[in-house]
Amino acid sequence: MALENGMKLLFLVCGIVSVAFVLLISVYLIIAGLPAIREIGLGNFLFGTRWAATAAEPSYGILPFILTSVYGTAGAVVLGVPLGILTAVFLAKVAPPKLAGILHTAVELLAGIPSVVYGLVGMILLVPAIQRIFSLSSGACLLAAIIVLAIMILPPVINVSETALRAVPKEYEEASLALGATKMETWFRVSLHAAKSGIAAAVVMGIGRAIGEAMAIIMVSGNVANMPSLTQSVRFLTTAIASEMSYAAYGSLQRQALFSIGLVLFLFIMLLNAFLNLVIKRGGKQS
């Protein structure tokens, strides 16, 4: 009994500590980010199209960063999620056990590769290829960032989707086959539908991975504060912070503006996760 009460207390303390860290991060970002927003102006900060923190007349508009992060994440999801789900279906339903084990190990290894390695490979192989194919002055662009992000979100999408598909009761598939459906129809109309909550969670994880990535993207996107275009160098919210924080003077408006970008990114991710979780819950209730 004493051991059980002690474990309950330990779990309670761990939960409180986790929530406290989130609250501390939130409070710190608000305190550090609001001064710059007040000085620059919320409208000028969020909807300004020019970022020139070190110019003689500095400008702190982050609309290009926001749109680039949205377009880049959306593009990665459009490319990576279907490929990840189809791979999960293959591993869970089609592949022989030995082949599935080998591919599953490869996916796990892919998840363990540091993000800087993805960026390095993209910079050496992908960027020159895009430059040659589209006859660009530089292949470091939004398209390269989207492709790298799509590859990086594959491991969580595949692993979580595969687990969800394997958890579908066999009776569902047997009943579908007994009613005359083909295996392909059963996999895509029964199994995927039954596993949709787990697959939705996989998509949420993939979006979180894509929107929070910085190191790999800074190496392949060009890191220039342009409005987003597939074949133009761009800068994400995360890369804006990573690239300028090291030389921003302590207490300067530039440094405060970088904290404000962090606050915007934090709020954006929280709102996106809340929206996606709401959609998942509503879908679960309807089903």
- Residue by residue, DSSP assigns 52-92 as ETTSSS-EE--HHHHHHHHHHHHHHHHHHHHHHHHHHHIII
Q: What is the pLDDT of residue 53?
A: 86
Report the predicted TM-score, pTM, of the whole model to 2 decimal places.
Answer: 0.89
Q: What is the pLDDT of residue 126?
A: 95
Q: Please give the Cα distance from 3 to 254 (Å, whole number).
A: 53
144 has a pLDDT exceeding 90: yes
Q: Please give the Cα distance from 76 to 13 (Å, whole number).
A: 38
Angle at 142 between CA 136 and CA 148, to 5 degrees: 110
The highest-level CATH class for domain 8-286 is mainly alpha
Structure tokens at 256: 């405060």
Q: What is the pLDDT of residue 287?
A: 56
Q: What is the pLDDT of residue 286?
A: 58
Q: What is the pLDDT of residue 283?
A: 63
User: Would you call 280 helix, strand, or coil by DSSP?
Assistant: helix
Name the residue ranges covered by the structural domains of the chain: 8-286
Structure tokens at 60: 């702190």
205-226 pLDDT tens trace: 888 889 888 889 999 999 998 9
Q: Please give the Cα distance from 242 to 53 (Å, whole number).
A: 14
User: Would you call 197 helix, strand, or coil by DSSP?
Assistant: helix
CA distance to 142, 146, 189, 210, 216, per residue, from 77 (Å):
14, 9, 22, 8, 17
156-188 pLDDT tens trace: 999 999 999 998 888 988 898 888 888 888 988
225-245 pLDDT tens trace: 899 999 999 999 999 998 888
